[in-house]
Amino acid sequence: MTALRIVDGGLDDARVGAMLELHVVRARAETALGSAHALDLSGLRATDVSFWSAWEGEELVGVGALKRLSAEHGEIKSMHTAEAARGRGVGSALVRHIVHQARERGMRRLSLETGSWPYFLPARALYARHGFVECGPFGDYREDSNSVFMTMGLEVPAADAFSAPAGTPRSAD
**pLDDT-based confidence at residue 56 (cuts at 50, 70, 90):** very high
pLDDT at 37: 86
> What percentage of the chain has pLDDT greater than the value 90?
75
**pLDDT-based confidence at residue 36 (cuts at 50, 70, 90):** confident
Least confident interval from 13-22, 25-34, 113-122: 25-34
Dihedral (CA of 83, 88, 91, 93) sign: negative
Q: Is the pLDDT of residue 87 over 70?
A: yes
d(C-alpha 3, C-alpha 56), whole Å: 6
Higher pLDDT, 88 or 157: 88
pLDDT at 157: 57
pLDDT at 135: 98
Q: What is the pLDDT of residues 91-127, one digit of tens each?
A: 999 999 999 999 999 999 999 999 999 999 999 999 9
- Cβ atoms within 10 Å, residue 75: 24
Helix locations, the chain, DSSP H = 14-29, 41-44, 90-104, 121-129
Give backbone dihedrals phi and psi of 28, rounded to 5 degrees, phi first: -70, -35
Q: Is the pLDDT of residue 161 over 70?
A: no
Query: pTM here?
Result: 0.86
pLDDT at 1: 61
d(C-alpha 37, C-alpha 100), whole Å: 23
Nearest to 146 by CA among 116, 121, 125: 116
pLDDT at 156: 65
Q: Which of helix, strand or coil describes residue 77?
A: strand
